[in-house]
Structures are given as structure tokens and as C-alpha cells.
Amino acid sequence: MLFQELARVYEQVEARSSRLEMTDILAGFFRTVDCASLPKVIYLTQGQLYPDFYPNKLGLADRLLLRTMVMASGVREEQIQEIWLKEGDPGIVAQKVFQTKKQRTLFSEPLTLDRVYDGLVRITEEEGGGSQDLKMKLLAKLLSDATAEEAKFISRIVTGKMRLGVAAMTVVDALAVAFATKEDRDAVERAFNISSDLGKVAQVICSQGIQAVREMKVQVGSPMRAMLAERLPSPKEILEKLGGRAAFEYKYDGVRVQAHITKKGITLYSRRLEDLTGQFPDVAKALGKAFKGESAIVEGECVPVDLNTGELLPFQEVSHRRGRKHGLEDAIEDYPVKVFLFDCAFKEGEDLTSKPYLERRRSLEESFERTDEVRFSEMRVLGDEEAVEAFFQEALRDGCEGLMAKSVEDNSLYRAGSRGFLWIKYKKEYRSEMTDTVDLVVVGAFAGRGKRAGVYGALLMATYNEKEDTFETVCKLGSGFDDETLAKLPPLLESYKLSAPHPRVVSKMVPDYWFEPSMVLEVLGAEITISPIHTTAMSKIRPGAGLAIRFPRFTGRIRDDKRAREATTSAELEAMYRRQLKTIGG
Ligand code: AMP
């Protein structure tokens, strides 16, 4: 097939803004293309060489394209620069430059689709020393054989600026119209959603017909487009929407991964289908160890944890890993993550996406050992508003954003790539931002683990309740300590050690060591939340619950100028909670 035909179609598409017209033009054209070439046509139309989940290496620098145009056209650099300044778009620049060149010489071969496609692949694959010159040479060869119209689209594609305005869903429509009927578009869309590969769907529909598209299955190595959630503001509305009963799960605040597992290896994909395996080799390894079968596709959320307190950390902690090629091992040690699995789309050759949720969940739980690093999302099937609200509070206490409600009805399939009411998130704001430091009293300590073996891993901190003359716990403090302070704490606290909780300390937690309330530390937290575990301001905001400081950090200041009874009071913390809640609108 000649590239010219494709360029002509692109011109026509570009001149239209209506999706319907674009669909018709594309559909008419797709019918004329042989099935083996169709994937290339589809990828190029999207300004790509491969499906979405391959790293897109197109994006040659404008400067290199400009120099290549000089080489290929013989037009002077200044002249091209002038056009570039005026036009801005590399495609239009190329078109103008190659129009001024005399038409193809006798010796130039007409460009075929394969030649352009393979040429572009080679250009993107050249890497390392001398690769710029090679890229330019390869591109110059294509451009010198191109017509002005062809040069326009080659230049756009190679710089990553195709921008034809053809959305993936327009290609889906066009494939249905070209090879089946408009009514079949949902089947084509489903095939795209479970494979993320329009080229593959195109080849199947072209060579085997719509029935084969209907029979396409999820496959290891081809990531599914992620299923997304709607949002509703109350347990009542959620339960009504989901038929009175649903699976409620902790909504973890981390990084979503889709793990494709075989005996040969594991690949982790992000929600945007990028390969995350390099960033989370520890997660891949842990999944491999915990997996009991031969092959599977599962989904979960990676959440950073504090080794010493066992608490879940804000997901930003994971970002310390990003872009780290060197020192990734240190980052893994410093910012360990757990993965909470929540779905299973494929197992032992069987596509589970059309099975109801609880069945998929059962498959998931049967497939993995529960280990330290590999967990299942905390889940309860509930049909009662109060029970949902209580579970929501537990989720917040455990460092989660709220709950995910999932339909458990017969039609609760895994709907790849779309947002719908089969999953509903519940994230009411019960947290408030904390901008002031507080002074808290050390009432207990937990033994350290890992790098902190031999010193305290975290301290149990309390506020002072003036009215009752008690100390009420408010957080576990493990961050913000340098090595020197960590080493200093045990001897400093030695003289306050007790064999049982101090009678004035009110705690539901049981630390490894108890202290007489004495030492005061300055602490800054991220926010104050409702907590059924901590006892500060117990039952003041919510019956049976206290307040907690999330993500507390020692500021470095030991308040030896303050006695324990001069620490921040429980009433002050309650006031801070109420004040801060207002500023974010409750
Ligand atoms: P949102 O990004 O607010 O639309 O919420 C959807 C995201 O929540 C998903 O993409 C997951 O990354 C994340 N998530 C956390 N916990 C769960 C869970 N138990 N089930 C599904 N998604 C979850």
C-alpha cells in the first residue's frame, strides 16, 4: 500500500470536525486496507507506532527535524527557520519546504506504508552515541522520497505531534462500521478495553469478523484499561444504587497496579498502562512468591508503610522511588510498600471479567498466600447504613481515604475502561489539615524493627486532659528522628519506665514499654482525624471515637521547658479539629 493513500485520508480527516464524518471517511478507507497492514494504519492514525502500553519513543526534537529538512530538501536553514517561526507546526513547515523542492526525481521510489512505518520504527530505536546522525540520515531518506503531503504527516508523526483529532473511540466506531454494523460497536469497544490495543482489534475484525472480536479474551501481557468508579455522598445513596447490599472495601491511598503474572515473570502496569515493574521490583517479587498458580491478571493498590509503626503512609512517599535508577534499592528499603489486592480478571487461562465480583474475589483469595507484603483489600459485604459508616471510620483510622463500594449483583462484571455505578467511592472529608505544631507527652514506646532494631521504633504520644487530669493518646510518632536522637531516647526515658500503664494514662493501645508522662516533644502532623483507637477528646465529636494526628513528625525540638501537664490539651486539639474542618468546608 502506498503511503500517499494514507496521507490523503489524513488530509480529508483533518478538514472535518464532525466525529460522524471522520468515522465515515476512516471506515471507508479501512475497508480498502489489507488486514495485515491495518494495525500499522491504526497506530499511525493515533500518532503512534504501537499500542498505548508500549513506551512511546516518538518525539524527535524540532531542531533535529529542521536540520534533516535542510539535508533532504536543499532549502537553506534560515529560510526554513523563517517558515517555522511563522507556522509553528512542523507538518506545515515540511509541507511548505518540500513544495518548493522540485517534484520527485526520477530515481526516487514512491513511499509505501511499510517503508514509512519501518523507517519510523528504526528512527525511534536508534539510541546511544552517534544515534542522532543516524536518525537524521534515516529520516532524510524518507523525506527526500516524500511528496509535500507525505512529508507533512511524516514530520508530524516523528515529532510526536500528529494531533489529527481522531479519538480512540472514533476508531472503534469506524471499525464497527467498516467490518460489522453500528450496533456492534459496543463489542468492538469491549475488545479494545480488555486489550488496550486497537491494532489487534482491527486485525481480528478484518481477518476473522465480529464474532471473533466478541470472543476476544483478556491476555497476559496485554493490559486492560482500568475499571473506574463513580462517587456518591452517603451510604444511603450507595446502598440504594447497589440494590441494598454491596461489598465495601478500604479505599487505599496508593498507586494502582495491574499485575500480569506467569511462571516466566511478572509485569506491573499503572492505571495509565505504563510499565511500573522497574519502580516496584519488590512488589513483583513478593507477588511471585505469594502466587500459587500458573498465570493470572490481578489488580491491587501499592501503599507505602512505616516499618516501625506499621502505619500506612501518604502515597507521596512512593514518589521518592520515581526516576531513581541508582539507589533504587535504598529507596525500596526506606520506603517499603505493601500491595492490597482487590480484583482478579484472569486466572489459569480463564477470562473472569464477565463473572460477578464475589466470584472474582474468591479466585483472587484462592490464588495467593497472604504474606507480609501481599494482602487483600479489607472487605465486608454490608447492607446497613450504620455498619457502612462504622467501617468508613475504621478505614480512616487505618490511613485510608474512605471506602469503595462494589456491586455484588449477578451483572457485577469487571467493566474495563469505564466509569460506572458498579464501583462507587465514598470519601467524605472527616479530616482536617494541620498547620500548627502541638506539644505531646511521651507515654509509651514500641520496639524498633529493621534499621531501628535496638532503639525505639515509635513513641506513643498523648495530649493532656485538664478536666480529668489524664493523658489521652493521640498518635504513634515514628518520623522526624535523626539517628542521634534515636540513640539518645532510651537512656533519656529510662528513668520514667514503668512496668504497667501509668494510672493517669488512658490508652487502648498497648506499647512495648510504658512511661510516666514526663517528656514533651514538639510535633507537626498533616491532619487530625476521627479515631476509634486513640482516646484524645473521646466521644466529643463522635460517640465512642477520639481524635488522632495523622502522619505526625517530630520537629526536632524536645520541649524540656515544659512539664507534662503543660502539653497541648485534649480540648485544644478538639478546637483545632473543629476549626480546621471548617476551612475545608466540612
Ligand atoms: P479515584 O482515583 O478517586 O477515582 O478512585 C479510584 C482508585 O482508587 C482506583 O484507581 C485505585 O487506584 C484506588 N483504590 C484503592 N483501594 C481500592 C479498592 N479496594 N478497590 C478499587 N480501587 C481502589
395-428 pLDDT, tens digit each: 988 888 899 999 999 999 999 988 789 999 998 6
Out of 238, 249, 258, 301, mutate this one to test ligand 1's pocket (max ligand atoms within 8 Å of CB): namely 301
Q: Residue whose CA is closest, atom 3 of ligand 1?
A: 425
**Is pLDDT of 528 > 60?**
yes
Q: Residue whose CA is closest, atom 8 of ligand 1?
A: 251
C-alpha cell at 134: 543516524
- Residue 431 half-sphere exposure, CB side, CA atoms within 13 Å? 21
Catalytic choice (96, 135, 251, 476): 251
Give 361 Cα–ligand 1 centroid separation in angstroms.
16
- Name the β-bridge partners of 298: 259, 344
Cα separation, 7 vs 173, in Å, equals: 21
Q: Is 251 a catalytic residue?
A: yes
Give 344 Cα–ligand 1 centroid separation in angstroms.
15
C-beta pairs of 322-330 under 8 Å, 24+ apart in sequence:
322/279, 328/278, 328/279, 328/281
Cα separation, 462 vs 474, in Å, equals: 5
Q: Residue whose CA is closest, atom 11 of ligand 1?
A: 256
Task: Tell me if residue 395 falls in helix, strand or coil.
Answer: helix
Q: What percent of the chain has pLDDT over 90?
A: 72
Distances (CA, A) of 201 to 36, 43, 145, 206: 12, 12, 32, 8
Please tell me what DSSP assigns to residue 70. Answer: H
Out of 225, 256, 408, 428, mutate this one to test ligand 1's pocket (max ligand atoms within 8 Å of CB): namely 256
CB 174 within 8 A of CB 204: no
What lines the ligand 1 site, CB under 6 Å? 229, 249-252, 256, 271, 301, 342, 377, 404, 425
Ordered structural domains, the chain, with CATH: 47-159 (1.10.3260.10), 228-431 (3.30.470.30), 437-584 (2.40.50.140)
Cα separation, 29 vs 356, in Å, equals: 39
Atom of ligand 1 nearest to the CA of 251: 16
The whole model's pTM is what?
A: 0.76
Q: Residue whose CA is closest, atom 12 of ligand 1?
A: 256
Cα separation, 538 vs 543, in Å, equals: 8
Beta carbons within 8 Å of 269's beta carbon, 6+ residues apart: 53, 223, 257, 258, 259, 260, 275, 276
Q: Per residue in 159-213, pLDDT tens? A: 998 878 788 999 999 999 999 999 999 999 999 999 999 999 999 999 999 999 9
Give 534 Cα–ligand 1 centroid separation in angstroms.
27
Give 133 Cα–ligand 1 centroid separation in angstroms.
46
Atom of ligand 1 nearest to the CA of 255: 12
Burial class of residue 14 in the structure, from the number of CB atoms within 10 Å of its CB (0-12 exposed, 13-18 middle, 19+ buried): middle
Q: Residue whose CA is closest, atom 5 of ligand 1?
A: 229
pLDDT value at residue 428: 63
Beta carbons within 8 Å of 477's beta carbon, 6+ residues apart: 440, 458, 459, 460, 461, 521, 523, 552, 553, 554
As a whole number of angstroms, the longest Cα–Cα distance in the chain is 99
> Once rounded to an integer, what is the mean pLDDT over residues 37-59?
93
HEC sequence for 251-299:
ECCCEEEEEEECCCCEEEECCCCCECCCCCHHHHHHHHHHECCCCEEEE
Q: Per residue in 102-148, pLDDT tens? A: 555 556 778 999 999 999 999 999 888 889 999 999 999 999 999 99
Beta carbons within 8 Å of 285's beta carbon, 6+ residues apart: none
Give 252 Cα–ligand 1 centroid separation in angstroms.
7
pLDDT value at residue 165: 78
Beta carbons within 8 Å of 91's beta carbon, 6+ residues apart: 152, 153, 155, 156, 161
Q: Per residue in 226-261, pLDDT tens? A: 998 888 878 999 999 999 999 999 999 888 999 999
Give 412 Cα–ligand 1 centroid separation in angstroms.
17
